[in-house]
């Protein structure tokens, strides 16, 4: 009964606040007049525009995934297998882009690559290469944390034995370490592909309609053309892509989790690059990681900070002082500081809800039933709670508006609507952070406790509980940071008198005037500092057991 309740509460949450809104929007496209009408499928799939959008989506997703994996592997080695001063800070800095609002990052890259910008000579502004670079910027941390988490736990004796038998460092890596990392690499690649295929703000800002994706096309069809039929068909196409990516990620993740042994201490070793000595095998990954962190991750953020300090009168803090106003021509209904307070309050509520639901899901999905039916049921629960990561935030937000507008769930004017939407987005990250920790517990610990007379509740509290607590700090940090930066669904749901910080930034960017633009850049820096601080604290709370992210 207890496990039924633990599974039923999250499933009810997912059904009411995810499946119902999404299926309602899709239903309005396929059942426009109360009768099933599939003619829209043929119509939409026969358009050359649809196939162009689909091709661009796959191309950008593949290129973004390849770039993130190739650059992330050296980063995973340096940040998880090497020990050096400031490693925790670098890990947090590498994670900040993952939780930044996509629109802000798009503007930062555009200002960096535009003519007259620091990298304007590369002529990448408005090209597909700019979109791919921004996608790698976002997803670098996913590869680093997913692969690095397993890499930090690998037993080094196999590689040491290969080296003792005469293998070079590269051969030992290719024949021993890389095969052991393959499950984690495949899992990270599948998740990155999912994120790249569903990217919204960065594609809209950097690629526009020329390099649009399925995600941006759903937004265009919904908000500009009011063509719910086309949006519904494209949503189904996107769900198919997401389902395929989730299937690959789930299979690879299970293999990775079986390889994770919590009983082995993290095998850090010093990173030594001594002057006058022959550089060791750590030199190349260290240089690649330094270049990626410095150029790809920090340069756009540094450019954002620099632009925020430029005013009409020269360099100064004028844009930051203006955050206490409502902008030029009263562009906002509240000040940026008030919006920041709204974001923090909403993030606390969303994080609380996401952690409660995520912990229940992780506990249920970490069970190992002996029956085939039980194992399939557990796998299905795990897969279902990954779906919000890949379904369009536009679909979720618009679905909230058309479903939660009448009794018994009339939440249009309720302050809980935005936290619920953000919690739907954050729950998968909480689950992915906690689940590997719980699955890696040796089941014999539970069996011994039961043999010694402990009840099921006491086994859960004394065996699973300590491991759960160890991974909870990082899970809370991720949920809070993601809630702070969530923009897609919040842009539909935030009330005009209670906007969040990302919504305010987007409004300022859309208003004319140098004052509003400068305020938008300053507000973006404030949001980046908040998310960086949250992730730095979460990184300090991370233990060797919390390895998934």
Report pLDDT for 273.
43
Best CATH choice for the domain 318-548 from the list 1.10.10.10, 1.10.3720.10, 3.20.10.10, 3.90.470.20? 1.10.3720.10
CA quadruple 223, 226, 227, 231: dihedral, nearest 10: 30
Q: Is 362 left (phi over 0), alpha (psi -120 to 50) or beta?
A: alpha
Write phi, then psi, for 311 (nearest 5 degrees). Answer: -125, 180
The domain defined by 38-213 folds into MetI-like fold (1.10.3720)
Report pLDDT for 485.
84
- Residue (of 454, 389, 89, 87) closest to 239 by Cα position: 389
Cβ distance 100 to 528 under 8 Å?
yes
User: Is residue 410 classed as helix, strand or coil in its secondary structure?
Assistant: strand
List the structure tokens of 149: 């988490």
Report pLDDT for 434.
86
List the structure tokens of 459: 């086994």
Dist. CA 520–CA 189, nearest whole Å: 33
Whether the CA torsion 97, 100, 106, 112 is positive or negative: it is: negative
Report pLDDT for 259.
53
Cβ distance 411 to 403 under 8 Å?
no
Dist. CA 185–CA 375, nearest whole Å: 24
Residue 235 neighbours by CB distance under 10 Å? 26
Q: Burial, 370: exposed, middle or buried (Cβ in 10 Å; 0-12, 13-18, 19+)?
A: exposed
Report pLDDT for 250.
67
Domain positions in the chain: 38-213, 318-548
Q: Are strands 409-410 and 269-270 parallel, antiparallel or unpaired?
A: unpaired
Report pLDDT for 72.
94
Task: For residue 547, give every residue at least 6 positions away whose Cβ sits within 8 Å of its Cβ, in sequence order, or none.
Answer: 148, 149, 150, 152, 153, 260, 436, 437
Bridge partners (DSSP) listed for residue 270:
83
Domains 38-213 and 318-548 share a fold: yes
Dist. CA 280–CA 289, nearest whole Å: 15
Q: Are strands 405-406 and 409-410 parallel, antiparallel or unpaired?
A: antiparallel
Dist. CA 87–CA 330, nearest whole Å: 44
Report pLDDT for 18.
92
**DSSP assignment of 463-496:** IIHHHHHHHHHHHHHHHHHHHHH--TTHHHH--T
Per-residue pLDDT tens, the chain, 549 aa: give them.
777 787 889 999 999 999 998 888 778 777 777 777 777 788 888 889 889 999 999 999 999 999 999 999 999 999 888 888 888 778 877 877 877 777 778 878 877 887 767 788 888 888 889 999 999 998 998 899 889 888 887 877 888 888 888 888 888 888 888 888 888 888 888 889 888 888 877 887 787 778 888 888 888 887 778 787 788 888 888 877 777 777 776 666 666 555 554 444 454 454 544 444 345 567 888 889 889 988 888 888 888 888 889 888 888 999 999 999 988 888 888 999 999 999 999 999 999 999 999 999 988 888 777 778 877 888 788 778 888 876 777 778 878 878 887 777 888 778 888 999 999 989 998 998 888 778 777 778 877 888 888 887 788 888 888 878 877 888 898 899 889 888 878 877 888 888 999 889 888 877 888 888 889 889 988 988 888 788 778 767 665 554 444
Dist. CA 429–CA 471, nearest whole Å: 12
């Amino acid at each position: 009964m207890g496990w039924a309740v633990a599974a039923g509460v999250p499933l009810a949450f997912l059904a009411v606040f995810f499946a119902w809104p999404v299926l309602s929007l899709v239903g309005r496209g396929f059942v426009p007049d109360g009768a099933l009408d599939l003619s829209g499928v043929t119509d939409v799939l026969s358009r050359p525009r649809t196939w162009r959008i689909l091709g661009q989506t796959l191309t950008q997703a593949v290129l973004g995934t390849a770039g993130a994996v190739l650059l992330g592997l050296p980063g995973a080695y340096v940040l998880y297998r090497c020990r050096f001063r400031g490693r925790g800070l670098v890990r947090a800095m590498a994670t900040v882009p993952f939780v930044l609002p996509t629109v802000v990052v798009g503007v930062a890259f555009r200002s960096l690559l535009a003519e007259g910008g620091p990298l304007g000579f590369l002529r990448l502004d408005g090209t597909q290469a700019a979109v791919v670079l921004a996608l790698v910027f976002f997803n670098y941390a996913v590869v680093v944390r997913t692969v690095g988490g397993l890499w930090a736990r690998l037993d080094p004796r196999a590689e040491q034995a290969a080296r003792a038998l005469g293998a070079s460092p590269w051969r030992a890596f290719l024949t021993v370490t890389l095969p052991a990392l393959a499950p984690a690499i495949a899992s990270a690649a599948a998740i990155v592909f999912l994120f790249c295929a569903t990217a919204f703000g960065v594609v809209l800002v950097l690629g526009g309609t020329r390099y649009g994706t399925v995600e941006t096309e759903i937004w265009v069809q919904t908000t500009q053309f009011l063509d719910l039929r086309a949006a519904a068909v494209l949503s189904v196409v996107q769900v198919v892509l997401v389902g395929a990516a989730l299937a690959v990620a789930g299979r690879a993740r299970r293999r990775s989790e079986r390889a994770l042994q919590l009983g082995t201490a993290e095998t850090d070793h010093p990173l030594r690059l001594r002057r006058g000595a022959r550089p060791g095998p750590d030199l190349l990954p260290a240089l690649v990681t330094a270049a990626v962190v410095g150029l790809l991750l920090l340069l756009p953020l540094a450019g954002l900070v620099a632009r925020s300090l430029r005013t009409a009168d020269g360099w100064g803090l004028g844009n930051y002082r203006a955050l206490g106003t409502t902008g030029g021509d009263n562009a906002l209904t509240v000040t940026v500081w008030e919006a920041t307070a709204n974001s923090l309050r909403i993030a606390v509520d969303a994080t609380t809800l996401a952690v409660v639901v995520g912990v229940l899901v992780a506990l249920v999905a970490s069970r190992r039933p002996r029956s085939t039916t039980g194992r399939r049921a557990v796998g299905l629960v795990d897969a279902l709670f990954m779906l919000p990561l890949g379904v369009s935030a536009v679909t979720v937000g618009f679905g909230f508006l058309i479903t939660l507008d009448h009794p018994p769930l009339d939440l249009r004017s309720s302050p809980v609507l935005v936290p619920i939407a953000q919690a739907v987005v954050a729950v998968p990250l909480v689950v992915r952070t906690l689940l590997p920790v719980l699955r890696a517990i040796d089941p014999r610990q539970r069996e011994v406790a039961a043999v010694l007379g402990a009840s099921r509740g006491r086994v859960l509290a004394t065996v699973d509980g300590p491991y759960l607590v160890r991974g909870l700090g990082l899970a809370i940090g991720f949920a809070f940071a993601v809630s702070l930066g969530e923009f897609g669904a919040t842009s539909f749901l935030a009330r005009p008198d209670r906007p969040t910080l990302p919504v305010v930034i987007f409004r300022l960017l859309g208003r004319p005037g140098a004052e509003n633009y400068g305020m938008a850049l300053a507000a973006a820096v404030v949001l980046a500092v908040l998310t960086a601080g949250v992730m730095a604290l979460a990184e300090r709370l991370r233990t060797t057991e919390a390895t998934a992210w």
